[in-house]
Structure 1
Amino acid sequence: MASSRSGFAALLRAWRDRLSPADAGFTTTGGRRAPGLRREELAQLAGLSVDYVLRLEQGRARNPSAQVVGSLARALQVSRAERDQLYRSAGLLPPQDGTVSTHVPPGVQRLAARLGDLPIGVFTADWSLVWWNTMWSALHGDPAVLPAAERNLARALFGDGPAHASMRPVRSERGQDAFAESIVADLKDALSRYPGDARLDRLVRELRDVSDAFARLWSTRTAATQHATDRKTIRHPEIGDILLDCDVLVVPGADLRMVTYTAASGSSDAGKLELLRVTGGRTATALP
């Protein structure tokens, strides 16, 4: 067990040292002692405390959960083979084939990091949020404050837990019914492709139990359009209503969706996005 913990700790330190801050979305400045990520930057990316990351790197924190290891693997932008190595070094089985993948390829993360002026979130096939940037947090609220299982769009729409309670008001130009139907259609498609995924099956069963609307949509045989392009008005608690184009970009070969929000240059909504970028959505003053 001790050698396993030391192996896990060594991998964390080595892979943190090799990851460029720019590739992770951080602005590089002078005065860095090492070319890699700082410990607090890794903690921020993985949604963990700096103290916990320190204890993991020193081998003092035992038995990290599969969710923690998955978050660290995504934050470190490792390959699938390296991800599996990290799981095994933590004494865990790597994610199995035939289940919804939460792995975000390094290239996708680098691309998203270079679009840091836009709100971007990366979702799995079951609409679980597995990567987001600071602009996403500024627009929607920080997903890191939610338990990992609650970072799911279907739970936000239909659930009765923290995800639903924290979701900021969103109005879809296609209509809320069409938006809800598209998310259910996506979950149906995911379950047909991953019938052995216990987590996905549990999500569907839970939502059918707590939401009459979800149960009704799930039981309908009418085909629905899957969620793609839309225009949405998001009510921000500081800035007010922001009308944005929402585009869902499918990542080939990874079964991921990259969700982006943009506004036309020179528009008042583009100005509101810029205010979000500058202030992080905190102590902002609403634009006229």
Structure 2
Amino acid sequence: MTSLPVSRQNGPDERRRELAGFLRSRRERLQPEEVGFAPGGRRRTPGLRREEVAQLAGVGVTWYTWLEQGRDINVSAQVVEAIARTLRLDRLERNHLYTLAGLPLGPVSAECGGLPPSVQRMLDNASPYPGLVLNARYDVLAFNDAYCKIMLDLTQIPVEERNVLWLTFVTQQWQCSFSDSESIKLHMVAGYRAASADHLGEPSWQELTQRLLAESPEFADLWNRYDVAAPSNNVKVIDHPRVGRLRIEPVNMWLTRLGSARATIYTAVDDESEAKFRRLLED
């Protein structure tokens, strides 16, 4: 991947910009009638007005406006909680808001640079199920042979490009495609944005984001929605060019002593998919 210039803005400035954009996106999705206001006449912007959010949260209009403009002002946990309730944020969105406001809910684990051999043995023993280990940035840290034969042969991908976001939005090398790819992509970008709140200002995260924005309009569109999400275990359907439809269910396991790394094993949902898994490994 060709390196792009990395923003030189410092961490606090970027965190405030991210906080401003997130608040604005959540405000604009909430309709006046949902919170007891009359729909009224024409509005210049979608959703609630800033003064309506301030009124419901019990804060000053000027103060809230400054917060949404990304100004350097003090924010207390009590006020952030009031804003979260006003904007009807779910648990993950609320946690994201706290992190962006500089009020993390708990200690942040350090990134893990390497994996012990036992993790690779676990992946190998998961065969015929495809498995891999990702960090919070979606970098691939480890994978098994089943993943290469069923999903994507990562041995043919340069190490510096083994990032699931990059492979999804930029490269064209997948052996199979998800039938609900749009929903999966949206959820993936939302997961990346949620994780990035703990890494604002870090060069490696900034560089990956800037590369994706430059190379993929689709990623840019999803990124600008400011959605956040957590990894899911929902059943997925993929269309494999050699064996047809596979129904799989991911099992996520967090490797708690290895920072934010998680192992994902894709299990077969039914006997037909199980048989296809084994057929692909035997070929």
Normalised by the shorter chain, which TM-score bucket?
A: 0.5 to 0.7
Q: Does 1:136 align with 2:147?
A: yes
- Alignment match, 1:207: 212
Secondary structure at the aligned position of 1:165 is classed as coil
> How far 1:209 moved relative to its partner?
1.4
> How far 1:202 moved relative to its partner?
0.8
- Alignment match, 2:175: 168
4+ aligned runs moved over 6 Å, structure 1? none
- Alignment match, 1:111: 122
Structure 1 residues 245 and 169: CA distance shift in structure 2, 3 A:
same
> How far 1:196 moved relative to its partner?
4.5
Within 2, Cα distance between the matches of 1:157 and 1:183?
Answer: 10
- Alignment match, 1:217: 222
Q: Which runs of 5 or more structure 2 residues have no equivalent in the other structure? A: 1-107
Native 8 Å contact 1:230 1:246 kept in 2 = yes
Matched positions, count: 175
Q: How does 1:3-18 map to 2 (within 5 A)?
A: none
Secondary structure at the aligned position of 1:225 is classed as coil
- The Cα offsets for residues 138-183 of structure 1, whole Å up to 9 and x where unpaired, read as 1023111111122111112222xxxx210133225xx433311221
Native 8 Å contact 1:140 1:168 kept in 2 = yes
Secondary structure at the aligned position of 1:270 is classed as helix
Structure 1 residues 141 and 217: CA distance shift in structure 2, 3 A:
closer
Within 2, Cα distance between the matches of 1:115 and 1:218?
Answer: 33
- Alignment match, 2:242: 238
Native 8 Å contact 2:124 2:145 kept in 1 = no
Native 8 Å contact 2:139 2:164 kept in 1 = yes
Native 8 Å contact 1:181 1:217 kept in 2 = yes
Within 2, Cα distance between the matches of 1:168 and 1:213?
Answer: 20
Q: Does 1:248 align with 2:252?
A: yes
Equivalent residue for 1:122, pick from 133, 137, 144? 133
- Alignment match, 1:180: 185
- The Cα offsets for residues 185-224 of structure 1, whole Å up to 9 and x where unpaired, read as 2222332222343222111001111222211222223x33
- Alignment match, 2:91: none
Within 2, Cα distance between the matches of 1:235 and 1:166?
Answer: 14
- Alignment match, 1:262: 267
Native 8 Å contact 1:98 1:194 kept in 2 = no
| Counterpart residue type for residue 118 of structure 2 | G
- Alignment match, 1:229: 233
| Counterpart residue type for residue 121 of structure 1 | L
Within 2, Cα distance between the matches of 1:238 and 1:202?
Answer: 36
> How far 1:100 moved relative to its partner?
4.2
| Counterpart residue type for residue 173 of structure 2 | S
What percent of counterpart residues are identical? 22
> How far 1:264 moved relative to its partner?
4.1
Structure 1 residues 264 and 158: CA distance shift in structure 2, 3 A:
closer
Q: Which runs of 5 or more structure 1 residues have no equivalent in the other structure? A: 1-96, 280-288
Q: How does 1:33-182 map to 2 (within 5 A)?
A: 100-159=111-170, 164-172=171-179, 175-182=180-187
Native 8 Å contact 2:238 2:247 kept in 1 = yes
**Larger-Rg structure:** 2
Secondary structure at the aligned position of 2:235 is classed as strand
Native 8 Å contact 2:194 2:229 kept in 1 = no
Within 2, Cα distance between the matches of 1:118 and 1:166?
Answer: 20
Query: Bigger relative contact order, structure 1 or 2, given CA contacts below 8 A and separation 6+?
Result: 2
Equivalent residue for 1:277, pick from 262, 273, 281? 281
Structure 1 residues 253 and 178: CA distance shift in structure 2, 3 A:
farther
